Each structure stands twice: as C-alpha cells, then as structure tokens.
Amino acid sequence: MHAEVPASPRVRRGKRTRPGNDSALQVSGDSPKDSVAKRKLHGEPHHAKSPPRLPQSLPQVLPAHLTASLRRQQRATLASLQTSNPFADEDNDGPPSANATASRQLQDLLFGSVTRGEGNSCLFLGPRGSGKTKIVEQAIKSLPHQPIVIRLSGHAQHNDRLALREIARQLSLQTGRSFLNDNDIVDEEHNLFSEPIPPVSLPPPSHLPALVSLLPTLSRPTIVILDAFDLFALHARQSLLYCLLDTVQSCRIGQGSNGLAVVGVTSRLDAINLLEKRVKSRFSGRVIRTAPPVKLCHWMSLSRRLLCVPIEKGGEEWMDMWNLAVDTFLADRKVAEVIADTFALTRDVRMLQNLLVGVVAELRPSSPFPTPSNLTSVLAAHRGAHFPDPYTLPYPSICLLIATMHAQTAGHDQVTFEMLHEMFREQLRASAAAPIQIEGGSIGMARCTREVLMASFERLLAAGMFLGVAPPSVNMAPEFVRYRCLVEREVLKRVVDTGGQTSLKKWFYKAS
C-alpha cells in the first residue's frame, strides 16, 4: 500500500484566489453573515428579507405610548360589532350561504323596481337573529338610486288607521309634500310643560286606497318594508295588505310608474296562510329565506373577523400585539367551551355580538387584552339569575313558589297571583283537615292573609324571580296579569329541604 502524501505548501498556495478573477471561489470558513457583508461591499443585491417579528408574550400592563391605540381599537371593534355584516360567506371555496343567496335575490328584486319601474312583492322569511333586517338595509344601500323607503312595523301600527298616518308622515318627510290634513298637524311650538298636546285625529280608513295608489306616481321609486308581516295579516279585513299588493300588481313597465316594491319581513312560517284569498291572489308568492350560521367554525371565524379590525394610526407594534392577543383568546379552551355552549343554546348571532361587546368594553390599560375571565363574567351577567339568595326568603314567598311548581306540574307555565292564592288556600284547608302528627301533636300550615301574600308576590317581582309575559294593561287587574317563574325546581327543593319545615316539604313533594 502506498502511504498518503500530505499536501505540500505549494498545493495550499494554489487554492488562493487571484485578484480580479470574478469566478474565484469563496474562501472556506466564511460565515453566512460575512458572505452577506461581502455582497454588500461588492454592490451585489441582497434579496433575503427577514420575517416580521411577532411579540412572544403580551405585557400585563400596556405601555403608555400604546394607550391611544387601545382606545382607537376599542372604538373600531365596537363599531364593527354594531354595524358590520356578520353573515358574509364563511366558506369561500364552498357553495354560497343561504344569506348570500337571499341578499343577491333581494338586490335583484329591488334593482328591477328602482331602475325599470317594476312592481314587485316578496316575503323575507327566517328565524330571529338570522340577519333579515341587516340584509334588507344593505340591499337598499346597494341600489344605484336612493328610493323613498317607508318602514312600518306590526308591533307599532296595530291597525290600518295608524299605518295610514305613518305612511303619510314618512312621505311628507322624504318628499317635502304634505299628505296630512290641516287638523292632523301638531303645532311644533306647543309648550309641552304648559298643557298636554291635544289628541291627533287619525285619517279615516277610506283614505287608504287613495294614498297607496299615489306611491307609484311619486318622483322616486318607493320601497315599503313591513316588519312583523304576520301581525299586519291579523288586521281586520287586511285592507292595508290588499291595497299595497293590488297597487304592486297593477304597476307595469312603460306605464309611467316609477316602481313599487313591498317587502314583508317575518319569522312565522305560516304567514302566507294567514292571508285572505283576495289578498293571496295579488301576492307574487315569492319567498326569500334566510338562515343563521349552521357550523360552530363559522362562529369562531366570525369572532376573529369582528375583533381583528384594522385601525388607522395603529402602528405595526400594536397590530401585532392585538392580533396575537385575539388568537390567544380564541384558542383558549374555556373560551371555546363558552362559544360552543352559546352556539348550542341559540343560533342568534346577536348573542355572540353582545358577549364580545361586553368583553371589549371592559378593556383598560391595566388589562388591555381580552381574557377568558372577562368572557365568563360577561356570560354570567347575561345568563345568571339576578335575584337574591333564595335561602333567605320568608315563609309566604316560599309558599308562592311552591304553588308555582304545582301549577307547572299541572301544565300551566304562566301563572297569576290569583291562581297562586287559590292554590295556597286549598293547601291550607287540606292541611287543617289532615295535619301532620308528631309526638302526639299536630302541625299544620301557618295562615297568611291575602295582603301578606300580595306583598310577598310584589317583592318576588321586584327581585326578578317572576317575569311578566305580557305588557300591563289598564283594563286588567294586577292579580290577573300572567307571569313566568324563573326559579328552578331543584333550587326550590334545596331551599325547602334546608328550611326543615315539615308542612312545606309535604306540600312541595306533592308536585314532584
């Protein structure tokens, strides 16, 4: 075998680079930092860009120079939670959502009425919180020309005469013409503190066809929005709906009309079946349906889109910190559980927006980023019972709650004070007829007068343990107003067991 001969110094000198040779090899041992420096020295371009450096951790207390950015972020996020469209397509690669399809159909319908003078009618149907009102307002804003918009509500205009007056009032504000009689105009200079405003006379129902027939002849196209459409169908003879839909049907292109569109908004599925035959025959039958998000991932992406709103003059430092804080907040297990529980309880996106509004509103320089504890406190304020400790309730109040449980067992979820008082009297008579025998003595229920029970019931109302299901009326006595109990049966069971009163225990367990 031949032994290896070490390289001579002449061979090592042969590895040196000659001056002026562009193809010279890089000297071995140069670091990447030295090579970059040499390229800069020789004027060679350096295209490598360092990635943006994100903050590794969030500060507990916000630096003073970022306080203004926090305030701007709060204002922008709260505005986004109130005004932004929460029903944009979540799946860009998949088919369009139901709301996107509904928005496009409504825009096409209103576009035909505004630009071509068509007469159109439709029913906008969807559950509460599915974005019906938001989609209608955005469709009106997207029109090339601003039309005359008349907004009516079945909750406010509960008869045709009130609806007629509201149509005339809105037309006067948007056209500058007076559609009211001189006797119906209220003096604006009237002193509210000297004497009350005299009652305003309502126009007779016979004026309704004449006023509605003027809508296609106005200077601009007209759009009529009927919120709570099903309540308008409950009006006597459905005169308002008949006049509107008949005018829409007679509106034709090329006849000199400027177009009329009637959009009914409702969450009742059988709203069309409420229409009379003569009204239904003039309705186009076009129904546009909306739907809330159907997947939990849509709510998560919606939460991030609503929170990560860019702001002006925010700076790269603040935006990096805020985006990292939002990602950390949404990735937390407790936050994911709260959003999942809310999604399982209701699909109303307004509930999610209300939770996020509470979280953003609580941000301070000492606590500048959303945390799971903020969300749980806001959730407790929304869901928690606001009544005091039930273990401190007096005897008459517990009797009323037990009577409520008996009513619920009988199938009456809504109760009145008169019902509860009658149940208490029956139990009092039954207890006196068959008292509890203990060690040779008998124990019955203590008597309470009607005034004492009424005072206890009013205290329960003030504490929030009963909730009214109908607005109060001057024609109905207070003891006949219907309420719903918010105290759960298990809570009352623990209260009765802790109190140790045998008569109350016996009465309560009769309801189980």
Counting residues of the chain whose pLDDT is more than 90, the rounded percentage is 37
Structure pTM? 0.61
Task: For residue 301, give the nearest of 248, 249, 352, 354 by alpha carbon.
Answer: 352
Least reliable range by pLDDT among 92-96, 112-116, 189-193, 258-262:
189-193
- Residue 243, classified by CB atoms within 10 Å of its CB into exposed (0-12), middle (13-18) or buried (19+), is buried
Q: Which residue has the higher pLDDT, 261 or 23?
A: 261
Q: What is the pLDDT of residue 236?
A: 83
> In the structure encoding, which two tokens stand for residue 44, read together?
């060679």
Question: Which pLDDT band, with edges at 50, 70 and 90, does 88 fall under?
Answer: low
Q: Which residue has the higher pLDDT, 227 or 28?
A: 227
Cβ atoms of 260 and 221 closer than 8 Å: yes
How many C-beta atoms lie closer than 10 Å to residue 390's C-beta? 19
- Amino acid present at 240: L
Q: What is the pLDDT of residue 31?
A: 46
What integer is the mean pLDDT of 506-512?
Answer: 83
Q: What is the pLDDT of residue 47?
A: 45
The enclosing H or E element of 287 equals: strand 287-289
The enclosing H or E element of 483 equals: strand 483-485
- DSSP E strand boundaries for 24-147: 119-125
Q: What is the pLDDT of residue 142?
A: 93
Task: For residue 492, give the nearest of 400, 383, 380, 417 by alpha carbon.
Answer: 400
- Determine phi and psi for 100, rounding to 5 degrees: -65, -40
- Average pLDDT over the chain, rounded to whole? 80
Q: Does pLDDT of 1 surpass 50?
A: no
- DSSP E strand boundaries for 71-181: 119-125, 148-153
Least reliable range by pLDDT among 80-89, 117-126, 459-468:
80-89
Q: Dmax of the chain from CA atoms?
A: 127
Q: What is the pLDDT of residue 108?
A: 95
Q: Which of 6-15, 49-58, 306-315, 423-432 reaches the highest mean pLDDT? A: 423-432
> In the structure encoding, which two tokens stand for residue 49, read together?
């860009």
What integer is the mean pLDDT of 288-312?
Answer: 88
Counting residues of the chain whose pLDDT is more than 70, the rounded percentage is 77
Q: What is the arrangement of strands in the sheet containing 287-289, beginning at the earlier edge strand?
A: 148-153, 222-227, 260-266, 119-125, 287-289
Q: How far is CA 223 from CA 69, 157, 413, in A?
A: 42, 17, 42
Question: Which pLDDT band, with edges at 50, 70 and 90, does 96 fall under?
Answer: confident
Q: Which residue has the higher pLDDT, 470 or 323?
A: 323
* CA gap 233, 271 in Å, rounded: 8
- Residue 477, classified by CB atoms within 10 Å of its CB into exposed (0-12), middle (13-18) or buried (19+), is exposed
